[in-house]
Amino acid sequence: MEQKRFVIDDRQFRTEQDYRLGLRDKELIEQLSREIKAATPEKRRTLLEDIRNDKYRFHTLLGEDFKDGLEEKFMEKQVKRSRSKTSNKTDNSRFINDSGMEEYVKQELQNREKRRKLFLSISMILGMAFLTVFGLYVYTDYQNESINQGYKDVLKEEVVMPHSGAEGSMDGSIISGPQFTLESMNPDKKVLDEYKNLLNKYENLIGWLKIDDTNIDYPVMQTEDNVFYLDHNPDGKYDRNGTIFLDKDCDAVNGSTNMILYGHHMKSGKMFGQLNKYSDKSFYDKHRYIQFDTIYEKGTYEVMYVFRSRVYKEDEVVFKYYQFIEVNGEKEFLSNMDEMAAMSLYSTGVTASYGDKLLTLSTCDYEEKDGRFVVVARKITTKE
């Protein structure tokens, strides 16, 4: 298949992005040309001077070509004007003036070539820098994807006996927060076999979250704060994607009324980057259920509410979904349900009763400052 060529006025561009910048330059050049043609002599001189002094910004070599063309026309007029003024002088005088002008034109052309080479050098340096940054970005995403696939592979491994004591992460570093070793677990709770290997390697593991037809298929962690996993992966290493984590105030062992999970809204779609698919009811209609297992039990949740909110100041008297973890009685529970139903982007027809267990997924939303996009679901099944 023949590769698409990006050409404007015999100037070929390497990428479509450069081509689009070239189209913008061409539009500006045509506009300036019309203004120069229609301007008075005094206005024309001002325009030419502004162009020479880079008042108008060009993004590609089309701009340099345009400026060079104006320079050549300027030089030609200067030569003609000089010859006209000296037409009545002796041949020797005319020769001296013309020679001086030709030397001036030669010097200007040399300066123009220097500017062109400088522009090309800077463009190459910037291009190499962009490719380097882009390469690092792609490589980091590849590494993160490989790491996450590794977590999934561990789930399929034969169960091995866990170690005793809190030895930290695989790289030997100690992860701050509660250390969920099997020996320190609630003796009344049995860890599911499929999560024993992961728990043995990642002591802050508390479960696994999965939503069909999205990138959301990740281990869930918990520490003593809501900060660490904002920029660390389950291994405890720095990672700009962070990790899906359970709110520090939620009871991971016995289960709180509302289990709140947080994750970054990454532009790449990683973490909760695709959670806002639920803003479209047609997506909800095909994805009503969310799978969230704790290390103790499997759980399927049915989506009830989808809404946008934000992080409020402490003194603002308003419903704050991120503070709804436990409730003091049925009245408070139903009040919270009414608040979320009122904010929901659409009606699902799904409701919850006092005593039901809930799951809340929260990520950043950029429609307002400190905005949040939230999906709330109620637990419908539990399987040991």
pLDDT digits (tens, 9 = 90+) for 75-92: 666 666 666 655 554 444
Q: Pairing mode, if any, of strands 289-294 and 205-210?
A: antiparallel
pLDDT tens for 23-81 read 888 888 888 888 888 888 888 888 888 887 878 888 887 877 787 777 777 666 666 66
pLDDT tens for 97-149 read 555 666 767 777 778 777 877 877 887 788 777 777 666 655 556 555 555 55
Residues 377 and 302: their CA atoms lie apart, in Å, by 5
What is the largest distance, in Å, between two alpha-carbon atoms of the chain?
A: 115
Taking alpha carbons only, the member of 190, 192, 227, 220 closest to residue 205 is: 220
Residue 378 confidence class, pLDDT cut points 50, 70, 90: very high
Q: Considering the domain 163-383, what is its CATH architecture?
A: Beta Barrel (2.40)
Residues 176 and 237: their CA atoms lie apart, in Å, by 12
Task: Decide: helix, strand or coil at residue 144.
Answer: helix
Residues 3 and 9: their CA atoms lie apart, in Å, by 19
Residue 270 confidence class, pLDDT cut points 50, 70, 90: very high
Residue 295 confidence class, pLDDT cut points 50, 70, 90: very high
CA 204, chain centre distance (Å): 27
- Considering the entire predicted model, what is its pTM? 0.57
Residue 188: per-residue pLDDT: 66
Residues 14 and 217: their CA atoms lie apart, in Å, by 38
Mean of pLDDT over the chain: 80
The alpha carbon dihedral of 211, 213, 216, 219 has a sign of positive
Kindly state the average pLDDT of the residues 189-214: 92
Amino acid at 36: I
In sequence order, what E strands does the chain have? 6-8, 11-13, 205-210, 217-221, 245-246, 258-262, 289-294, 298-310, 358-365, 371-383
Q: What Cα–Cα distance (Å) separates residue 197 from each residue in 11, 151, 219?
A: 60, 10, 13
Hey, where are the domains in the chain? 6-135, 163-383
Residue bearing the bigger pLDDT, 372 or 383: 372
Q: Pairing mode, if any, of strands 289-294 and 258-262?
A: unpaired
| 346 DSSP 8-state letter | S
Residues 211 and 289: their CA atoms lie apart, in Å, by 8
Q: Which residues of 7-33 are buried (b: 16+ CB within 10 A; e: fewer)?
A: eeeebebeeeebbebbeebbebbeebe
Residue 164: per-residue pLDDT: 36
pLDDT tens for 320-364 read 999 999 999 999 999 999 999 999 999 999 999 999 999 999 999
